[in-house]
Amino acid sequence: MREDVRVGNRTRPRSGLLVVAAAVLGMALASRAATDDLVPYPDGYRQWTHVSSSYVGPQNAGYQGNGGLHHIYANKEAAEGYRTGRFPAGSVIVADFLEPRESDGVVTDGPRRRLDVMLKDGKSASGGWRFEQFKGDSRAERLVTPEVADRCFACHKRRQEQDFVFSSLRQ
């Protein structure tokens, strides 16, 4: 037996209502994910404090995927964290990975490989940090699945004494 239910001034079958409810729930979840769950793209990070840079050269085993210049930036909260050793909630650290361009023995920045982001929410089980990666220049194409995030933290947790941060502020 089909039960009809009244929605507004229209009568819909109950199964239809479930579809509507599921759609609304899905939209709500998607909206929550967009606003709460996802680490936001770090707008304006190129104006943040430059923490340090390094160059991964051909002698490194990870050259194929990581070779080139890397630049690390800290927002205001994270810059305080580098100074005090404890990163307050809201700290964001960005690692900018660029392909190498070499001319006459001088390496400069090529196209962006990816942008790695650490956000301190102070709540996440992974030391209070959340991890994200944006592919190339994309602000939307995300590379971190839950499994990747686990791997991020598996490495970062070695630095618990530095609040799980590897880099230090170059003087």
Stretch that binds a second copy, among 53-61, 87-95, 142-150, 155-163 (CB under 8 A): 53-61
- Measured from the CB of residue 90, what is the shortest distance to a second copy in angstroms? 19
Do residues 99 and 111 make contact, with C-beta atoms less than 8 angstroms apart?
A: yes
- Measured from the CB of residue 168, what is the shortest distance to a second copy in angstroms? 10
Residue 166 interacts with a second copy (CB under 8 A)? no
Residue 71 interacts with a second copy (CB under 8 A)? yes
- Which one, of 130, 135, 127, lies nearest residue 118 by Cα? 130
- Per DSSP bridges, beta strands 10-13 and 106-120 are unpaired
Of 91 and 130, which CB lies nearer to a second copy in the complex structure?
91
- Which one, of 28, 1, 27, lies nearest residue 13 by Cα? 1
Of 35 and 59, which CB lies nearer to a second copy in the complex structure?
59
